[in-house]
Amino acid sequence: MKRKRHVILYTIAVLIVLLANFPIIFIVFTSFKPLVDIMQPSLNLSFTPTLDNYKALFSESFDFGKYIVNSIVIATLSTVIGVSVSIPAVYGISRFGEMKKGVAFWILSIRMVPPIVFALPLFLILRLVGLIDSSLGLILVYLTTTVPLSVWVLNTFLSEIPKSLEESAMLDGASRSRILLRIILPLIKPGIVAVFILNFIFSWNEFFFALLMTQDKAVTFTVGMARFVTGYSIYWGSIAAAATISMVPMLIMTILVQKYLVRGLTFGAVK
């Protein structure tokens, strides 16, 4: 009886997982379908797989590889810089009482503002300094989101660390910078990894600012995918292939840091 119940529960769990991941499975299958099968009104699972959709991404007229490289560079640098800036900032907010009140919430409130509010002033500033259609300009724009999110999340992790550890280190002659590097960073490593993944996902999937701030040189893959929607037709096969390729870096990164990510997202949930 117990075994039968386990079988039923596992079957239900598998069905729920398949249902939740059906859009992803559908996109992957569509990326290997010929155009004639994609345009069928019914769901057709019997088809001859083809790589034509992937070949179209890297043709001479559409170099999707350049867009992927741009996305990797921009997402990685904006995430690394954002987390690096946020760590000393959140340490000061968390540990110095005169700075703590209201500062963390004020920083988070920047993240709450709709992106369209920042669009015009950021565009004018980047155009003034000549950073339109550049990776550096897009990285600076993304920092307006990655830094507030990092500060807010890491502030929770730092609040869980007792100040007595730092006081003991200071009695031994350790400086604030040494305490931050030698004591605080190892203890909040799960939080840093979780914040890194969250920020990378945002920078990787961001479309609005990438569309507004780029034209050709710094175009990311999200904007590149949108170019398959033309005034004459929509290339569903190429869009599905591009979406499938774009999932690969995120899957690899998540698998590599899965242990730290799960611990980081649940840190402090149970006292």
Q: Express each pLDDT in 141-150 by its tens digit.
A: 999 888 888 8
What pLDDT score was predicted for residue 142? Answer: 92
What pLDDT score was predicted for residue 49? Answer: 83
Query: Do 51 and 68 reside in the same domain of the chain?
Result: no
Q: Quick one: which of 220, 224, 61 has its CA closest to 134?
A: 220
SS3 content of the chain, % helix, strand, coil (to 5): 75, 0, 25
Query: Do 68 and 52 reside in the same domain of the chain?
Result: no
Backbone angles phi, psi at 41, to 5 degrees: -70, -25
Query: Do 99 and 49 reside in the same domain of the chain?
Result: no
Please give the residue range of the domain that contains residue 7: 2-56
Query: Do 230 and 127 reside in the same domain of the chain?
Result: yes
Query: Do 49 and 79 reside in the same domain of the chain?
Result: no
What pLDDT score was predicted for residue 224? Answer: 87
Confidence of residue 104 (pLDDT cuts 50, 70, 90): low
Domain count, the chain: 2
Query: Do 230 and 176 reside in the same domain of the chain?
Result: yes
Q: Is the pLDDT of residue 78 over 90?
A: yes
**Does the residue 271 lie in any domain?**
no
Which residue, of 12, 40, 56, is where some domain finishes? 56
Please state, rounded to an integer, the average pLDDT across all residues of the chain: 82
Own/partner long-range contacts of 60-63 (Cβ < 8 Å, ≥24 apart): 62/224, 62/227, 62/238
For the stretch 58-72, pLDDT in tens is: 876 677 888 999 999
The model's pTM is 0.83
Query: Do 78 and 177 reside in the same domain of the chain?
Result: yes
**Does the residue 193 lie in any domain?**
yes
For the stretch 226-270, pLDDT in tens is: 888 877 888 888 889 988 988 888 888 777 777 666 655 555 444
